[in-house]
Amino acid sequence: MISRIHIRNFKCFANLDLELSNLNVLTGVNSMGKSTVIQALLLLRQSYDMGAITKGLILNGEATKIGTGFDLLYRNSDTDEIYIAIGTGGVKYEWTYRYEKASDFQQLMKMSPDTNDLERINIFQNTFSYVSAERIGPQRFYEKSYHEVYEKNQVGYRGEHFADYIAERGFEDKVENKAVRHPKVDSELLIYQLEAWLSEISPGIHISHKNYSEAGIVSMGFKVQDGEFTPMNVGFGISYVAPIVISLLKAKPGDLVLIENPEAHLHPKGQRKMGELISIACAGGVQVIVETHSDHLLNGVRLSVKNGHIDRNAVRLNYFYEEMLYGKQIHRKCSPAILPDGSLSDWPEGFFDEWDKAIEDLF
């Protein structure tokens, strides 16, 4: 697992040193740096996949699109150097890149020495999964991809291959993380575990599919109570959350899952259940970094701590904010701790306090 990430002169951060645990929650108001942390990891992965990590950073690719080197460099930086470091297993891996105005804006040139043994880090393994905030919505047909589903073990960064993943692996793969197996289902097969967890969000979900291999597509159907419906007729919520649930269920101890806004299109109970599912996956040894704006998801995590489903020390809350310092807006973070009873060690201004503020205004 990744135990620490350190970035300097990276987008909105002059310097950020972030400790990581099993479950890492990134939150804060918009444009405070939550996505920046995830983008730092995605840039390394993207550059690694494209065989360029020893030469430079590929700024625009399938995983993330930054723009130019100017967009990546911290605007108040005194140098043209961008620094990323990852700590894991007592080893520190460092990358330093230089931004040059005259160079190709799609790539920053590498300065630091070559880094070996990258395969030891979960971000560079095929067990890594990423589901972005911009996910594919309900479709009548979904594309098939043997490369993504089998060789990369992915549902697609936008969840675009989740239907193909279910069709090809749902009835053959077992959920190996015992902690995340649904208590009401005897079978370990991925398809039945997926149905059970989706039913926590929308009761009675059963999944059917049909392969059209010659056309390279697969159709998906959801049986709800007495009827069967296409994804377009069961709302956005199920299609949006299914890739995330699959990513969590297929993850093994030590794997890394990056998730952006898992609460999108989910009702409050579904958001809380998502927090609980993420927590127990992490309790089983999976590492998750999740960006969220949902207090319901946070409550699911807090309840998981209180109910003993995950050790509080395996959870890191990171609240990003900004403050004025010497006439400059500086981006910072603080880390309230979850106590054994599910309460928080402190409650920073702006940290999921809008409910209290609204109630105070109402009364």
Beta bridge partners of 334: 319
Q: What pLDDT does residue 353 have?
A: 83
Q: Which of 297, 300, 296, 310 is nearest to 340 (CA)?
A: 310
- CA 83 vs. chain centroid, Å, equals 22
Q: What pLDDT does residue 109 have?
A: 66
Please give the share of the chain, as a percent, with pLDDT higher than 90: 61
Q: What pLDDT does residue 224 have?
A: 79
Of the candidate ranges 49-53, 143-147, 281-285, the one whose mean pLDDT is the lowest: 49-53
| pLDDT above 70: residue 338 | yes
User: Could you give the CA distance from residue 215 to residue 179 in angstroms, rounded to a whole number?
Assistant: 38
Per the confidence metrics, is the pTM higher than 0.75? yes
Q: What is the pLDDT of residues 242-288, one digit of tens each?
A: 999 999 999 999 999 999 999 999 999 999 999 999 999 999 999 99
| pLDDT above 50: residue 105 | no
Q: What pLDDT does residue 15 have?
A: 93
| pLDDT above 80: residue 150 | yes
Q: What is the pLDDT of residues 107-143, one digit of tens each?
A: 566 666 566 778 888 999 888 999 999 998 888 899 9
Strand order in the sheet with 4-10: 13-19, 4-10, 81-88, 91-98, 107-110, 56-58
Q: What is the pLDDT of residues 317-328, one digit of tens each?
A: 999 988 877 767
| pLDDT above 60: residue 59 | yes
User: Could you give the CA distance from residue 138 to residue 155 in angstroms, rounded to a whole number?
Assistant: 15
| pLDDT above 80: residue 36 | yes
Any idea which architecture 1-123+306-363 has in CATH?
A: 3-Layer(aba) Sandwich (3.40)
Task: Name the token pair of 190.
Answer: 């991925």
CB 231 within 8 A of CB 198: no
Per-residue CA distances from 343 to 19, 77, 106, 303 (Å): 21, 39, 45, 9
> Within a 13 Å sphere around the CA of 117, how many CA atoms are in the beta-carbon half?
9
CB 161 within 8 A of CB 148: yes
More confident residue, 29 or 226: 29
Q: Is 336 helix (H, G, I), strand (E, B) or coil?
A: coil
| pLDDT above 70: residue 330 | yes
Q: What are the structural domain ranges in the chain?
A: 1-123+306-363
H helices, E strands: number in the chain? 9, 16
Q: What pLDDT does residue 2 have?
A: 94
